Structure 1
Amino acid sequence: MVKVNENYLKLEKNYLFINIAKKVNAYKAAHPEADIIRMGIGDVTLPICKAAVDAMKKGADEMGVKETFKGYEDSGAGYDFLREAVSGYYKSFGVDVPADDIRINDGAKADCGNIVDIFGDDNTILITDPAYPVYVDSNRMSGRKVIFADSDESNGFAAMPDENVKADIIYLCSPNNPTGSAYTKAQLKEWVDYANKNGSVIIYDAAYEAFITEDDIPRSIYAIEGAKTCAIEMCSLSKTAGFTGMRCGYTVVPEELKAKASDGSEVSLKQLWNRREGSKFNGVSYPVQCAAAAVFTPEGQQQIKVNIEYYQNNAKTIAAALDELGIKYTGGKNSPYIWLKCPNGMGSWEFFDLLLEKANVVGTPGAGFGKNGEGWFRLTSFGDKDRTVEAMERLKKILA
């Protein structure tokens, strides 16, 4: 008789955003007249920039001509033109990442979960809490031991390493999803030093680096001395360039990053990751990679900057409303997310229900991101400008 992976039975029955969708759909069915404004899921609303669209069309046209048709990409790591473009993008903010250390993927979420394939199941995983659910779920699916570092109001939702706690793999996200907090250079240096001292590997999610506005917040962990011997970095075009429906991102595994096998021999994690991807992933389509490369051109960068500023202005609108109401929050400044403290001591799902029923606004309950998320709530700035203004007017009306 077939046996299931019983680690899945230990997970929540549904993914967080499925539970939210069920609640919203039930309310909508009961109140079809309701004008619901969705500020929960972190999906963009502005279209892909013209430079990317034009490049994708050109790539699709090339696929229809025998002389320029593309089948499997030889290395499986992504076309050289895109990896070189990503490498050049790193150089634009002062970080040296060779193209050969970069692999193109179909978005950061998949690689954040898949990267653990190259590590043993007996590793201890340290995750800052609150956390993006994929970090926790992908490791619990494999039965790994998961421990947490508390990110809470007392430390500005920026957990720091504890020398009394030993972890093999560490997940960090900066700017953070869901809290919007971001590590300074000095704080990241502490994590890098901890990892190198303990032989740990940091899985660094930089999906929101394009939203950083402050000079002391690194755009990449490789801006920190010593990071290439302890860190794997993942980034995505989903939020920076509107690729949520296109699916493209990249993972960096430095040549310098090594680990020890059980026989004491030194193993290249880059080689292991390449081997894993060669067996389980056939790469991102050629037209999508063409579009992604266009994002890193001067024209593409200028166009996505306009979109990012649009979302940043939405974040300012949300922040201004919360300031007016006297509600504590983090995020918004270096992140598209606003992480607010639920008013009047309300629980996060309680506040979700209040906001849905009294204001017809949907957000994300902090409890869905971990125990330190209880009592907090995430709003996204990825919506329409006018709808964001309207949502904040409704919020102020019910909370004033």
Structure 2
Amino acid sequence: MQLGLREMYHLQLSAQPSISFLSVMKHRTMQTSAGHTLYFWRRPNCRYTIKAIASRNDVFRTRICRSKHMEKLQNGYLFTEISMLQSLYRDKYPDVKLISLGVGDTTHPIPEIIASAMAKKCFGLSTATGYKGYGEEQGDRELRYAIAEVVYKDMEIDYSDIFISDGAQCDISRFQLLLGSDITVAVQDPTFPAYVDSSVIMGHAGEFKREAGKYGRITYMKCTPDNNFFPDLSSTQRTDVIFFCSPNNPTGVAASRNQLKSLVDFARANGSIIIYDSAYSMYISDDSPRTIFEIPGAKEVAIEIASFSKYAGFTGVRLGWTVVPKDLLFANGFPVIEDFNRVICTCFNGASNIAQAGGLACLSAEGYKAVSGVVNYYKENAAILVDTLQSMGLEVYGGKNSPYAWVHFQKRRSWEVFKEILDKTHVLTIPGTGFGPGGEGFIRISSFAHRESILEACRRFKSLF
């Protein structure tokens, strides 16, 4: 079996209680009371793997082989590992005030007008007249109308093109299911790890190439300060699917109109589908497009995935949507929306009625004003972080059109910097290599925190750097 970061760290403590947090562990083996042999070895990016191999003959096993695709996955899922690490750090240092600027979880309360709408819906479910069971799998029609009117006004996106979901990340995997295992995939590098991990699980990837930090068969489109974090499409090979996130997670950079036009033109020339993640679109402060459908021709090559999580505080409520234009067709002329609708009806019973009531409230005039205030709060946090880090002579990207600062530490490894920041300032960030090999040398810092925590983190950064 594969053990994750939590088990690894507990074993470190039990084996050598005096070792420092995330210190280097030499290659060795350990026998457990359950009769398993644990094998430890170091990975190049300073993370560690433990595999336990059953050594007892009386352990029952099924006759089902583990998926060969699951076996290709490296470590655990990035944000889950970071959350576990945060919990373990607090357990080990209970008297230390840890500031979490790592996992992008919102901290500002849901605006009252939105919470009230959900509470009203919840109370109504306890009455004979207000109770409602299953809704349409595609989502509440009133909410779909509101999204079409507020988000996609004048873009000829019909409410019937919109599917309400339990979050953008879930729909990423539903599209993997829809498209099957025979497709080829391209991702930005660095990139949101769910695109890669779900591609591996579905069988789109080859073996992991440890020295390169990449999976075979996945095309990594390099995005660096040198190319303004937009890939060189002239040297990018054709793939069936292009995962693209703008504003980007983790770099925080939004693609310009001309850049997105070139992306759409590239997809059209190659007959590819763009899966466009616009989860952070409300953070855009300049004239960068907030949706791919601002670009002519995008409806024939693009699907857009969006979310209420990062601007309405719905990370725990779970609500998002996906737009599948009717103009998007498979090679045989069959509409993609028909197959996606079939997947939704088969694999999903629809988003919570209560969450959808909150989403509808977000799009009212008063609700939209309230969530815009929340977004501005996080953007002010980001500006404070960026100004502080830049004043210390660091190269900082993002922050303007997103809640993330992407900080470059030249000639240093990401996990090394991550560990130093954590050990010396007690601030949790995310190492850039967690987002792919293009993230080496970078740290992602989130602005999703209370203002006093942001200011305190800045004070600690100054004392370290």
Q: TM-score range by the shorter chain?
A: over 0.9
Of 132, 137, 145, which aligns to 2:197? 137
How far is 1:91 from its partner? 4.0
Q: 1-side partners of 2:83 and 2:279: how far apart?
A: 24
How far is 1:184 from its partner? 0.3
Of 290, 298, 301, which aligns to 1:227? 298
2:347 equivalent to 1:347: no
2:273 equivalent to 1:209: no
Q: 1-side partners of 2:65 and 2:367: how far apart?
A: 50
How far is 1:266 from its partner? 1.6
2:47 corresponds to: none
Q: CA RMSD in A?
A: 1.3
How far is 1:131 from its partner? 0.6
2:459 equivalent to 1:371: no
Q: 1-side partners of 2:412 and 2:252: how far apart?
A: 21
Q: Is the 8 A contact 2:177 2:202 kept in 1?
A: no
1:80 corresponds to: 141
Q: Which piece of structure 1 moves more, 63-72 or 18-27?
A: 18-27
Q: Which piece of structure 1 moves more, 63-72 or 273-282?
A: 63-72
1:243 corresponds to: 314
Any unmatched runs of 5+ in structure 2?
Answer: 1-62, 205-216
How far is 1:163 from its partner? 5.4
Change (3 A) 1:29 1:50: closer
Q: Is the 8 A contact 1:95 1:220 kept in 2?
A: no
Of 144, 151, 159, which aligns to 1:99? 159
Of 165, 175, 190, which aligns to 2:247? 175
Q: Is the 8 A contact 2:98 2:427 kept in 1?
A: yes
How far is 1:25 from its partner? 3.8
Amino acid at match of 1:220: T
1:316 corresponds to: 383
Q: 1-side partners of 2:80 and 2:268: how far apart?
A: 38
2:128 equivalent to 1:66: yes
How far is 1:21 from its partner? 3.4
Change (3 A) 1:131 1:29: same
Q: Which piece of structure 1 moves more, 54-63 or 128-137?
A: 54-63
Q: 2-side partners of 1:103 and 1:19: how far apart?
A: 30
The structure that is helix-richer by fraction is 1
Q: 1-side partners of 2:116 and 2:94: how far apart?
A: 39
2:97 corresponds to: 35
Which protein, 1 or 2, shows the higher relative CO under an 8 Å CA cutoff with sep ≥ 6? 1
How far is 1:142 from its partner? 1.2
Question: Computing the radius of gyration over CA atoms, which structure comes out larger, 1 or 2?
Answer: 2
Change (3 A) 1:273 1:346: same
Of 352, 362, 374, which aligns to 1:307? 374
How far is 1:164 from its partner? 5.4
1:298 corresponds to: 365
Post-superposition CA distance 1:246-288 (Å, at most 9, x none):
000000000100012xxxx321100000000100000111111
How far is 1:119 from its partner? 1.1
Post-superposition CA distance 1:2-43 (Å, at most 9, x none):
122121111023111233234434433332221110000000
Any unmatched runs of 5+ in structure 1?
Answer: none
Task: Give the TM-score normalised by the residue count of structure 1.
Answer: 0.95
Amino acid at match of 1:373: G
How far is 1:329 from its partner? 1.4
Of 106, 117, 122, which aligns to 2:177? 117
1:198 corresponds to: 270
Q: 1-side partners of 2:428 and 2:236: how far apart?
A: 40
1:151 corresponds to: 223
How far is 1:146 from its partner? 1.6
Secondary structure of the equivalent of 2:315?
Answer: helix
